[in-house]
Amino acid sequence: MPDPIRPQRGPQETALTSPADVVIFGGAAGGGKTFSLLLKPLQFVDIPTFSAVIFRRESPEITNPGSLWDESSRLYLDLGASPNRQLLEWRFPSGARVKFAHMQYEDDKLAWKSSQIPLVGFDQLESFTAGQFWYMLSRNRDPSGRVRSHVFGTCNPVPADDAVGGWLRELISWWIDPGTGLALEARAGAVRWLARAQDGDAVEWYDSAAAAADIPLFKGWTSADTAVERARAALAAFDGVLKDYPGARKSPDALLKAGYCQYELKRYAAARASLERVTGDFAGTQAAQDAAQRLGRMATEGH
């Protein structure tokens, strides 16, 4: 009997249990975002009529070694799902299906014109265009009425002026710290409601469903982020190295990285103290040079 599959506590659990219609799960590489995307359909695979489609922008991103198809095999085979490599589709014992697909070109979205998809997933949503996203949102429905239609997307941080993903950064800007580009800890996981007219790109945000309900298309949104939790975990690890091995050769690197983590967590006074220790106690090392560079950046930012 396979071990129970559960999300990790923290951002992964927050994203996978959110009541929002649209969940954007962001953060740096290695935070478990893609794994979460593969976990999401498992909440519904006992329903025979359920189907999900998970998109990557290009086909090789699905089938390359270690990519979506390989990762899904680690999960779905143990649950009795049958793979169809040619169709890039898994069929579960109930009859539920999870399919992978690509949208390399803008017009590829039109292949889904008549589709009704209860769960639409995007891996690295920032690589898709706004037109592709909004079109697939219009295909997001469950004809059986047994599953709440929703969208689950993962993303990496991108600047607002990014040629492809800038639209996404602008769309979720309420959750993002403009100074760091990372999610604001106090807002990560908070649900807001978006209303968008069917014939335009303009959107309005509301703090309740009732306020948005008179607009033709409205959805509850949230954004979770792995960055804060990862920084906390890393800081604890580096602090452990410094405590247990104070004279070790790696001490300057551990102290430098502890300073970086404190900076990401906005503990600026602690970050400055750590970085100044690196420049003072380990002068002439690469760690000291890197610490001086970060101190200069902090001074420019007013920290």
Confidence at 1, pLDDT banded by 50, 70, 90: very low
Higher pLDDT, 279 or 189: 279
Judged by average pLDDT, the poorest of 149-153, 228-232, 291-295 is 228-232
pLDDT tens by residue, 205-257: 887 776 665 554 456 676 655 555 555 555 665 566 566 656 655 578 778 87
Q: Model confidence over 6-48: pLDDT tens digits?
A: 667 777 788 888 888 899 988 755 567 888 999 999 999 999 9
Tokens 């049958």 correspond to 82
Cα dist from 242 to 146, 230, 238, 261, whole Å: 53, 19, 6, 14
pLDDT tens string 78-117: 999 999 999 999 999 999 999 999 999 999 999 999 899 9
pLDDT over 60 at 74, yes or no: yes
Instruction: Give the pTM.
Output: 0.71
d(CA 31, CA 93): 30
- Domains of the chain and CATH, by start: 11-225 (3.40.50.300), 229-301 (1.25.40.10)
Q: In the sheet that 97-102 helps form, which strands lie side by side, from edge to edge?
A: 82-84, 89-91, 97-102, 51-56, 119-122, 150-155, 22-26, 217-225, 192-196, 203-206
